[in-house]
Amino acid sequence: MNELQVNIRCPYCKQSLMDEDKTIDGYPSVKVIIQNSNKRGMLYLSSIYGSYNIISEFNIPLDEIILFFCPDCQSSLLIKDLCDKCSAPMTFFELLQGGKVQICSRRGCEKHLIEFSDLSQEISTLYNAYEVFADPSSKKQEDNLLYSEGKKRKKEKKCENS
């Protein structure tokens, strides 16, 4: 399975939210403070885009809306945008490389978005994550590239000779 690991920071104080000591899915987790109606504690999210694995200091009931805060500056990470699946507030993070990630604040909702600010960075990140596109050592891909190039050259020669 190809995985896209994201590195996250607070959009306000710009401090990294990555926690090397708490790994989830084999990578550093994203560390935030969460709060519900009567508890406040740490939450560690998987940094694999699309993974819903977490480690929480307290149980978060399904469908509960959680408040998210930066552990460094204590700023709320909720934004005014609402989830188009469940209408809960969205939570906003910045990518260290530029861009943003949004996740729904409702436990169990799987709505999330990723947006890159630099298209070349996005392409590079995706190519690195999905090696089949970037790794020409794949024999089938290499054969397809050679076949396509050969066909293109034959077509160009045919046009030149006409």
In tens, the pLDDT along 60-115 reads 999 999 999 999 999 999 999 999 999 999 999 999 888 899 999 999 999 988 87
How much is the pTM? Answer: 0.72
As a whole number of angstroms, the distance between CA 120 and CA 136 comes to: 19
Does residue 90 sit within a domain? yes
Q: How many domains does the chain have?
A: 1
As a whole number of angstroms, the distance between CA 29 and CA 6 comes to: 10
pLDDT score, position 145: 42
pLDDT score, position 16: 98
Residue 34 tokens read as 């969460």
Does residue 146 sit within a domain? no
Does residue 125 sit within a domain? yes
pLDDT score, position 125: 59
Residue 160 tokens read as 């030149």
Does residue 19 sit within a domain? yes
Does residue 160 sit within a domain? no
Residue type, 102: Q
Residue 161 tokens read as 């000779």
The residue ranking higher by pLDDT, 133 or 12, is 12
- Give the structural domain span for 90: 8-129
